Amino acid sequence: MRTKAYAAQAATTPFAPFEIDRRAPGQSDVAIDILFCGVCHSDLHTARGEWPGTRYPCVPGHEIVGRVAAVGGDVTKFRVGQYCEHGFVATYNGATTGVGENTYGGYSAHIVVDERFVLKVSHAETDLAAVAPLLCAGITTWSPLRKWGAGPGKKVGVVGIGGLGHMGVKLSHALGAHTAAFTTSPGKVAAARALGADEVIVSKNPDEMAAHANSFDFILNTVAAPHDLDPFIALLKRDGTMTVVGVPATPHPSPNVAGLIFGRRSLAGSLIGGIAETQEMLDFCAERGLVADVEMIAMREIDRAYGRMLKSDVKYRFVIDMATLQNAA
């Protein structure tokens, strides 16, 4: 099926309209009309060639919410008209079974997905745009928060209050942990409290950092740029862990191993999350009315949105209203 999309043709060219071919739905496929797509910093890293291996034309977007338009004969979990999200299995820039083609993501009008990668949304219909970011920003923070036991009696820090970080603060708070937000932006202090942070620490201020030495059970670091990890490792208690999820274009400076050795601290990483735990997170959020804080944009505003993301100027996730793709020039 010919499908309208928006693509980057090269690392340095702006996005422009582009037509892609979606496969006809197979027996186990679900065809989805895309309503909303969140804008992840990974879209920017990929489209601008900041990570190795981008295949062009590149159609990013993996925070996809839509309505089921058609289902294959073997599909049992979904029916036409339901709201659903599409999980990440190299949603874009991945290899397909076809020859020489790459996968295209959610900056497009429709997508065809095997039902195993489709999730049910039970939020209110009016929340659907703000649900889209749960699919990456939500699960990428939920998975490590659960794995490292965020909950009552635990002191949890979230570093970088962007798309991922703001969901990290909301989810850690909802799980019952004492939650601290670390930001480089003094202008986000009040807003971070409103997200559910019990304390907000401006990480550029050494005195504020020192007041929390040796006190955190767990720190989730979502920063998208290379930075010194040592000041955060120093805030972990004995046996505490800092998990990084940000993937900057160039590496962080290597941490000082003494910071890990004294206190038997750990540095770890985490990648998005599985389908079952993504559904668990969506259901948890639906029960508690949790969604992302979003700023809606039209498709043609995507390059400007990337520019603002690079300046940490988004509260806290851009979401594309896919209805605007029809008239995008």
Residues that bind Zn ion (CB under 5 A): 40, 42, 136
320 makes contact, choosing from Zn ion, ligand NAP, none, with CB < 5 to 8 Å by partner type, with none
- Closer Cβ to ligand NAP, 130 or 164, answer by number: 164
| Beta carbon nearer to Zn ion, 235 or 244 | 244
Residue nearest to ligand NAP (CB): 162
Query: In the bound complex, what is the minimum distance in angstroms from residue 305's beta carbon to ligand NAP?
Result: 11
Tell me the C-alpha distance between 161 and 220, whole Å. 11
Nearest distance, CB of residue 173 and ligand NAP, angstroms: 16
Please tell me the distance from the alpha carbon of residue 285 to that of residue 278, in angstroms, as a whole number: 11
Shortest Å, Cβ 247 to Zn ion: 10
Kindly tell me which of 35 and 195 has the beta carbon lying closer to ligand NAP.
195
Closest CB to ligand NAP among residues 46, 108: 46
User: Shortest distance, CB of residue 207 to Zn ion, whole angstroms?
Assistant: 34
| List of residues contacting ligand NAP (CB under 6 A) | 40-42, 45, 136, 140, 160-165, 183-185, 188, 222-225, 227, 245-248, 270-272, 309, 312, 314
200 and 193 Cβ atoms separated by less than 8 Å = yes
Which residue in 306, 139, 134 sits closest to 220, CA to CA? 139
User: Closest distance between ligand NAP and the C-beta of residue 247, in Å?
Assistant: 4
| Alpha-carbon gap, residue 41 to 317, rounded angstroms | 10
The length of the chain in residues reads 329
Question: Residue 40 Cβ, how far from Zn ion at the closest point, in Å?
Answer: 3
Q: Residue 243, CB half-sphere, CA atoms under 13 Å: how many?
A: 23
Distance CA 273, CA 87 (A): 10
Q: d(Cα 31, Cα 275) in Å, to the nearest integer?
A: 18
Of the pair 91, 233, the CB lying nearest Zn ion is at 91
* Among ligand NAP, Zn ion, none, residue 224 binds (CB under 5-8 Å by kind): ligand NAP
Alpha-carbon span 132 to 65, nearest angstrom:
6
For tokens 């909802």, the residue is 174
Q: List the single partner that 163 binds among Zn ion, ligand NAP, none, CB under 5 to 8 Å by kind.
A: ligand NAP
The answer for residues whose C-beta is within 8 angstroms of residue 35's C-beta and 6 or more apart is 65, 66, 67, 128, 129, 321, 322, 323
Q: Judging by beta carbons within 10 Å of its beta carbon (0-12, 13-18, 19+), is residue 264 exposed, middle or buried?
A: exposed
Taken in order 181, 185, 186, 187, the sign of the CA dihedral is negative
Nearer to ligand NAP (CB atom), residue 3 or residue 141? 141
Shortest spacing between CB 324 and ligand NAP, in angstroms: 21
Q: Which is nearer to Zn ion, 118 or 200 (CB)?
A: 118
Helix 163-174 and helix 275-288, axial crossing angle in degrees, nearest 10? 70
